[in-house]
Structure 1
Amino acid sequence: MLIKPTLKTISELSGLAITTVSRALSNAPDISISTKEKVKKIADEIGYIPDRAGVRLRTGRTNVISLIMSTDSEIMDMTGRLISSIALGLRGTPYHLNMTHHFPGDDPMKPIKYIVETGSADALIFNQVQPNDPRVHYLIEKKFPFTMHGRSCPNEKQSFVDYDNGEFAKIAIEKLVKKNRKHVLMITPPQNQSYGLEMVQSAKNTAEKHNISLIIAPIITSDSSITLISDTVSKQIINNKKIDGILVGTPKGAMAAVAGFEKLNLTIGQDIDIVAKDAVNFLKLFRNQIIVINENVEIAGKKLAEAAIHAAQNPDSEPIQYIDRPESDYTKFN
């Protein structure tokens, strides 16, 4: 029977005190980089796995960051890459990533309260952030470390990583204006989420500035089913033949919109132009004529990991806040 490696095993192999080994594995700032590398190398070689129960008993920490996500996330959008990027951001740290799901229609407070009440994580990451989000108020009240992918209450000190969706909408409208498009159909994000409100308001302001018509697609959002988006786009164009541009914030929504107008024998890049956000360089493979503005989800994931660790280790310090801004002359995918 193999004996499980312990801190004592690493201590004996390295010639370092057990407390030094423990602090090196915890990435303590007072331990030199060379010592940390030496300890981690030995730990990897002997297959050392921390005893989480023991860590929690000694330190009160779990070394777990919990990511809470809805099960309605689309795989062709950014969810998979975001998760892998957060995991990469935690690589080389003592923290591990746990996934906690909540189902559409369920109370989004339920998984938050469970983790806080059980102390099953050192910090939380969540998305689909709403204005004045009750999850934010609850976590602040409980003094539980967290960060979020999105922004909620602008007047409170909160940890967040976000994409400038207002700037995205502005650039998108301006790109359509350059294509001489005058009547733009917008498939909006859910309007109960902060990024959706930001995107719509910016699109309206920019359309008004350039004196073009902005039509908000009824019934649907960019999170609706592909079939519903496709059918709605077809109906909107049939009812308003002046529509010559489409703005949408997700790859799924863009693909569904293209299917909707191609059913009417309209040609992308000639009869109608579409601008969309993409995180995985996928849309250009689908239709090269789609005007793509990138969202760098890899940076977002790594920043979320950094912000979560910072919140867990430095609860009384200034929270990390990061906004990724698209460039007006962005040409990575174009």
Structure 2
Amino acid sequence: MEDKRNSGGKASSEAPERPTLKTIAFMTGLGVTTISRALKDAPDIGAETKERVRMVARQLGYQPNRAGVRLRTGKTNVIALILSVDEEIMGFTSQMVFGISEALADTQYHLVVTPHSHSKDPLVPVRYILDTGSADGVIITRIEPDDPRVRLMTERNMPFATHGRTDTELVHPYHDFDNEAFAHQAVGALVAKGRRRIALLQPPGKLSFHSHTRIGFQTGLHEYGAEEVPLRVTIDTPLPDIRDAVEAMMRSPNAPDGIVSSAGSAAIAVNAGIEAAGMRLGHDVDMVAKQSTHVLNWIRPEIITVYEDVRHAGRELAKAVMARIDGAEPQELQSISLPEWPQR
């Protein structure tokens, strides 16, 4: 008797057929056109029908054929996130991706993350996407006051949104964190603890939020009668170097009694420098630090933490890009989040 397991060798080894719009139509009893429009969230399709179609599509594991979609519509259904591999490590990357993914859920769009090092030409990944047409919209981070990526995408009519603001005449979609308010309020919080000599671990000078942070910090010093103790490193400086610079600063005759950190991972290095100098956080010196997760509070409860909701930023950026693709005006797609201070 012939062994059916080896008969032809095909039936048992072939992958199951990929579900299509016709598969969903058969399962729901609806027409293929209705299925297609329901998955695209067409306004003329009822909410109940859309939900039924999406539920069946999820159960079947349906995914649109991107090559076919591109041939039919000229669209890729892809949103590209160009994200620096050097981004702040305390949850920024994962929270940004989570937020964007949440906003893209139940839409036709898929997220593709394009890693890039901020030490290299920032135009390279943008040019690639523009030249290959590999995305319908783009999200970028680490914005500069006159960002060449913003100019290029504006000239090429590519829908995009930025995490941060430029300082040019170009009007573009963005979501930003109010770093000016953060730095100003941080100085006030330290002065309320009796601190008067304050150091700032600031963003690198080439980024837009450097000037926002400096303005808020200087305004706070003037308003609350405090003075600055210079710190010659930034949040982009390697963590061991931040630790060494803080230790040297704390051992000097000009040591501060308050420190503001613009990043969570950098705050850990600052704390290590304080301890290496034989001083105690919360006793000899206080620190206010921005964070995008709540890890700092577990490591050092003495740190006064301010929360930046990067997950919310991701959702806002994704919604802005999709709206721009649909023709919304860029000035309608700009938003800013305020610092979230702990409940007292």
The 5-angstrom pairing of residues 54-133 of structure 1 reads 54-133=68-147
Aligned partner (choices 145, 152, 167) of residue 181 of structure 2: 167
- Larger Rg: 1 or 2? 2
Q: Which residue of 1 aligns with 2:325?
A: 312
Q: Which residue of 2 aligns with 1:279?
A: 292
Q: Is the 8 A contact 1:276 1:290 kept in 2?
A: yes
Q: Is the 8 A contact 1:311 1:319 kept in 2?
A: no
The offset of 1:249, in angstroms, is 0.9
Distance in 1 (alpha carbons) for counterparts of 2:328 and 2:142? 23
Q: Which residue of 1 aligns with 2:4?
A: none
Distance in 2 (alpha carbons) for counterparts of 1:44 and 1:77? 29
Distance in 1 (alpha carbons) for counterparts of 2:200 and 2:89? 22
Distance in 1 (alpha carbons) for counterparts of 2:327 and 2:53? 24
What amino acid is the match of 1:57?
Answer: L
What amino acid is the match of 1:108?
Answer: P
Deviates more, 1:315-324 or 1:136-145: 315-324
2:229 aligns to what SS in structure 1? strand
Cα deviation code 1:267-294 (max 9, x no counterpart): 1111100000011101111111101111
Distance in 2 (alpha carbons) for counterparts of 1:22 and 1:54? 13
- Count of aligned pairs: 330
Aligned partner (choices 6, 18, 35) of residue 32 of structure 2: 18
Q: Does 1:225 find its partner at 2:225?
A: no
1:116 aligns to what SS in structure 2? helix
Q: Which residue of 1 aligns with 2:53?
A: 39
The offset of 1:77, in angstroms, is 4.2
The offset of 1:154, in angstroms, is 5.2
Q: Is the 8 A contact 2:291 2:306 kept in 1?
A: yes
Aligned partner (choices 207, 215, 218) of residue 201 of structure 1: 215
What amino acid is the match of 2:309?
Answer: N
Cα deviation code 1:190-217 (max 9, x no counterpart): 1110011110121012102222111231
What amino acid is the match of 1:293?
Answer: V
Q: Which residue of 1 aligns with 2:256?
A: 243
Distance in 2 (alpha carbons) for counterparts of 1:236 and 1:322? 37
What amino acid is the match of 2:66?
Answer: R
1:277 aligns to what SS in structure 2? strand
Q: TM-score, normalised by structure 1?
A: 0.94
Q: Is the 8 A contact 1:188 1:216 kept in 2?
A: no
1:216 aligns to what SS in structure 2? coil
The offset of 1:71, in angstroms, is 1.3
Distance in 2 (alpha carbons) for counterparts of 1:153 and 1:185? 26
Q: Measured at CA, do residues 118 and 165 of structure 1 come closer, stay the same or move farther in structure 2, by a change above 3 Å?
A: same
Distance in 1 (alpha carbons) for counterparts of 2:127 and 2:332? 21
Q: Which residue of 2 aligns with 1:48?
A: 62
Q: Measured at CA, do residues 34 and 203 of structure 1 come closer, stay the same or move farther in structure 2, by a change above 3 Å?
A: same
Deviates more, 1:251-260 or 1:14-23: 14-23
Q: Which residue of 1 aligns with 2:312?
A: 299
The offset of 1:156, in angstroms, is 2.8
What amino acid is the match of 1:149?
Answer: H
Q: Is the 8 A contact 1:10 1:42 kept in 2?
A: yes
Distance in 2 (alpha carbons) for counterparts of 1:317 and 1:229? 39
What amino acid is the match of 1:223?
Answer: D
Q: Measured at CA, do residues 54 and 254 of structure 1 come closer, stay the same or move farther in structure 2, by a change above 3 Å?
A: same
Q: Which residue of 2 aligns with 1:186?
A: 200
Q: Is the 8 A contact 2:174 2:334 kept in 1?
A: yes
Deviates more, 1:111-120 or 1:296-305: 296-305
Aligned partner (choices 217, 220, 224) of residue 210 of structure 1: 224
Q: Is the 8 A contact 2:177 2:338 kept in 1?
A: yes
Distance in 2 (alpha carbons) for counterparts of 1:95 and 1:174? 43
Distance in 2 (alpha carbons) for counterparts of 1:311 and 1:3? 36
Deviates more, 1:286-295 or 1:153-162: 153-162
The share of aligned pairs that are identical, in percent, is 38
1:200 aligns to what SS in structure 2? helix
Q: Which residue of 1 aligns with 2:338?
A: 325
Distance in 1 (alpha carbons) for counterparts of 2:329 and 2:130? 18
Q: Which residue of 2 aligns with 1:265?
A: 278
Q: Is the 8 A contact 1:148 1:160 kept in 2?
A: yes
